[in-house]
Structure 1
Amino acid sequence: MSLKISSAIEILKKHDLLVSSSVSDENLEVTNISYNSKADQTNGIFFCKGNKFKAEYLDQAIKNGAKIYVSEKEYSKDIDRLIVKDASKALALLSAKYYGNPENDLFIVAFTGTKGKTTTSYFLYDILKNAYPKQVGLFSTVDRIVGPDPKDEFKSDLTTPESLELFRDMRRCVDNGLKYLVMEVSSQAYKKNRVYGLKFDIGGFLNITPDHIGPNEHPTYEDYLNCKKQLMINSKINIINRQTNDYDTVYAAAKETSTDKDIYRFAQNEVGDTDFSIRNKESNLNDSVFTFTAESDKAEDLQEHSEYTYKLGLVGDFNELNAGAAIIAAKKIGVKNEVIADSLKSAFVPGRMEHINTQSHGTIFVDYAHNYASMNALLSFIKREYPSSK
């Protein structure tokens, strides 16, 4: 992997990010890229980023071999430098270029939402994995899977990785022969420019409720919503929960870059102005059965029959909505319905509505629910199933 400095300058100019350049040799081709001053910087480009960045970090990077740095202000005149308006945006664009723009060789489906991102991503990952064995990657809150072998699976540290790691792992996916990537995109990914410049083939908007509001995340709900809706603006095909809060805002965002034929809406029960409706037929503490009905002409065009029945191997009526988003994405990719149905039957998501039946302590549920919306959905379902329990 490498990056020619002349190409870096051209990219930064194209995106109106370059403030100034002090470069002795534009033909320099760096073979290292980093924002971690402790790492090996031999013949590398180093990024000064973050509110807590200190000049001594750059000094350490230079000692470790950095040839040029990118920053929002000038720290050192000892080596070449590119001064930019936004270092995090520059990192995203130049990381993509350094790794050979692997995103262009992947069909990328992304989901966002206050709750349900991980579950929906796993649903679609399982479907695609069965349809296209050894060709599907996954970037989730729980796992990152960049290849078909066990060595290519490891635990995630962020829902959406920093842009450098994001494009590095996309490159791993491509080099390992993968063709499809399913990923979660958090609001922080847009807030921190981790996915800046990245376009998605399909983007799914699951829901939004007031959460992640605070000094270390989003200052206001409006800021949170603005970051969430960016996925719609940056996706070719949009899948939207018709019952989400702020639906009009989300739909308007999708309309900015997509036409009606590329926007699919789904909802539970009787809701007007939707493309697919989901109706529960039966459910218990082991699985649920629901119908998936086409309610518009474009929905009927997408599936061979107007209605299908699916059995979901993960309990919770809220998971039927998550499955709905995954089903639409799979159908748009061209997966056969038999594969979708079989995959959903055996659906399993680590830490999501796992239940253990015990002899003396009843049924134990293990779930990652970590915010109000997720916990409320979980407890509401259990209360309906156990109306007499405490």
Structure 2
Amino acid sequence: MRTTSEIAEAFDLGVPVGNQVEITSVAISSLDVAPGCLFVAVQGEKAHGIDFLSSAIAAGASAVLSDRPVQADIPVLVHEDPRSIAGHISAFVMGTMDLGLQVFGVTGTNGKTSTVFFLHQLLIQMGVKAGLSSSAFTQIDNHRADSVLTTPEAPRLHRLLSEMNDAGAKAAVVEVSAQALVRHRVDGLVFDVAGFTNLTRDHLDEFGSMENYLSAKASLFTQEFSRRSVINVEDRFGEQMLELARAKLPDHPVGLGPNQDYSFEVSGDGIKIAGKQELFLARDVGPLMSKNLALAAVMILEAGYTAEAVSAAALDIETLVPGRLELVSESTPHIYLDYAHTPQAVELAAQELSEKYSNLVIVLGASGDRDSGKRIEMGRAAGKFANHVVVTDQHPRSEDPALIRASIIAGILEVGPDSSISEIDDPAVAISKAVDLVGDGGAILWCGPGHLKYREIKGKKLPFDAYLQARKALNLD
């Protein structure tokens, strides 16, 4: 708890307008405001937080911080860029830097959600009470809530950590996006161990180049945000990330991969990790998930836990990650849901299933208002391994969905014949078509929806549950 005067003095905000009041929490959305809250009113994608000030006050906001003076019946604080200090104010108010939580963070393009899921599972099985913040859901004890963002806004994230601590947690695991790093969502946090999965094409509509994208991710591996790091070195981007981390975190980064501090080998029996410590994870999670489980295990080793404890914990972890190569049912044909929305993610998931099944049908869509250049690459990746691709809509947003589908189809045609393609705009119809096409001994990979429960069309999020639609296509529901 802090007063408005203490906040103003600590962050050089001048003299607050209005009487001094006590602040117990911070919120950047009026929907998160609770009594005693400092409401941080910032410019959003479509509106400014000031437009929701009356709602925030009605919900119990005790003060407001904004980038402009405002007339209000509560104390007013002003800063030219409130978002840039919101995380640090949240830590100052809620004391999240002094909770004693061991905090793990994971960034990268693909595999973040799976890695944080495995981290959380391993900690729990080792008897460490831990909370989780992922793109799929947040979890405190047995309570799960769907996530809105990959990484919550800073005030919400600090509140989650505080709630985890109140519930008796000793550790927290956080999925960290590049957007979170450049938009101050993890400000005020220092991760005990930060992990890196990989870097592949994504978000170039926002970052412009892979170099800028790499730089955004690399900011996690600095003394501002991390005490030590584990970098998966599987290509030149991994090598660059390790080099950048070693420059910013001397003596603390370690590499995971050939000729690094740790290496791993995958067999049908599990994952062998060698290096600074050696252990065997007796779980067959497939080649795609194995590197995520290996990264999670090494991060826990670097946090100070023993190889014996990690190995034992791996025997009992849940390995089904929601929306990540998730098998809908044992009923045939097998349908796998995957959140794959980058060329590499589509290719790796398709390759793994093509080696397991004699016939693979892929249902594939792409998002509008996002990096348009990756769509043809996604089509090419699917066409390399699928016997047939059903091209459908995912999140067209403000774009013409027919043009999005055309880009995907162009990529498929680079590697396969026109006869291997079906174009069906409605994804519910598309998955039913895939079931009709697949035949005996085959499987369906539905790329895109993953864990999501909606489709975004012309500014609206419309309810859509791919899991339920897949079961319906199999006549299970």
Name the aligned partner's letter for residue 342 of structure 2: N
Pair 1:42–1:146, CA change in 2 (3 A): closer
Do residues 183 (structure 1) and 174 (structure 2) align?
yes
Aligned-residue identity in percent: 26
Q: For residues 331 and 72 of structure 1, do their structure 2 counterparts lie closer, same or farther at Cα, with a shift above 3 Å needed?
A: same
1:222 is matched with which residue: 208, 211, 218? 211
User: Residues 244 and 72 of structure 1: is their aligned pair in 2 closer, same or farther, counting only changes over 3 Å?
Assistant: farther
Match of 2:164 among 161, 165, 173: 173
**Counterpart for residue 366 of structure 1:** 337
**Any idea what SS the aligned residue of 2:219 has?**
helix
1:69: how far off? Answer: 2.0
Q: Say whether 1:58 aligns with 2:48.
A: no
Q: CA deviation at 1:59?
A: 5.0
Counterpart CA distance in 2 for 1:382 and 1:9 is: 56
TM-score by length of 1: 0.81
Q: Secondary structure at the match of 1:204?
A: strand
Checking the alignment, whether the CA contact within 8 Å between 1:314 and 1:353 is kept in structure 2 is no
CA distance in 2, matches of 1:55, 1:350: 37
Structure 2 gap segments, 5+ residues each? 361-386, 388-477
1:1-390 aligned at under 5 Å gives the runs 2-13=1-12, 18=13, 20-25=14-19, 27-31=20-24, 33-37=26-30, 44-51=37-44, 52-53=47-48, 55-61=50-56, 66-76=61-71, 80-101=75-96, 104-133=99-128, 135-147=129-141, 150=142, 152-214=143-205, 217-233=206-222, 234-260=225-251, 262-267=252-257, 271-272=258-259, 274-282=260-268, 289-294=270-275, 299=276, 303=277, 307-315=278-286, 317-345=287-315, 346-348=317-319, 349-355=321-327, 361-386=332-357, 390=387
Mapped contact 2:29–2:49 kept (Cα < 8 A): no
One-letter amino acid of the counterpart of residue 344, structure 2: A
Shift of 1:363: 3.4
Contact 1:96-1:167 within 8 A present in 2 as well = yes
Shift in Å, 1:208: 0.6
Counterpart of 1:285?
Answer: none
Q: For the Cα contact (< 8 Å) 1:107–1:179, is it kept in 2?
A: yes
1:291 counterpart SS class: strand
- Deviation track 1:42-67 (CA, whole Å, cap 9, x = no partner) reads 55432111242065433554566645
1:354 counterpart letter in structure 2? E
Cα gap change, 1:383 to 1:154, in 2 (>3 Å): same
Contact 1:113 1:208 in 2 (8 A): yes
Q: Secondary structure of the residue that 1:312 maps to in structure 2?
A: coil
Inter-CA distance 176–224: structure 2 relative to 1 (3 Å threshold): same
Query: C-alpha distance in 2, partners of 1:335/1:170?
Result: 22
Q: Deviation at 1:205?
A: 0.8
Q: Relative contact order, CA 8 A, sep 6+: which one is greater?
A: 1
2:194 and 2:342 mapped to 1: Cα distance?
23
8 A Cα contact 1:40 1:65, kept in partner: yes
CA deviations over 1:270-313 (Å, ceiling 9, x no partner): x33x111122233xxxxx5232121xxxx1xxx2xxx4433324
CA 1:289–1:11: 2 relative to 1, 3 Å: same
How many aligned positions are there? 355
C-alpha separation in 1, matches of 2:253 and 2:202:
26
CA distance in 2, matches of 1:39, 1:352: 29
SS of 1:137's equivalent in the other structure is strand
Residues 209 and 245 of structure 1 are in contact (CA less than 8 Å); yes or no, is this contact kept in structure 2? no
Q: Is the 8 A contact 1:143 1:155 kept in 2?
A: yes
TM score, norm. by length of structure 2: 0.67
Corresponding residue SS for 2:192: strand
CA distance in 1, matches of 2:209, 2:313: 39
Give the 3 Å change call, closer, same or farther, for CA 64–172 of structure 1 in structure 2.
closer
- Note the alpha carbon deviations across 1:224-279, whole angstroms, 9 max, x for none: 2222111111211110011244234422432244223x211111xxx33x111122
Distance 1:181 1:62 in 2: 31
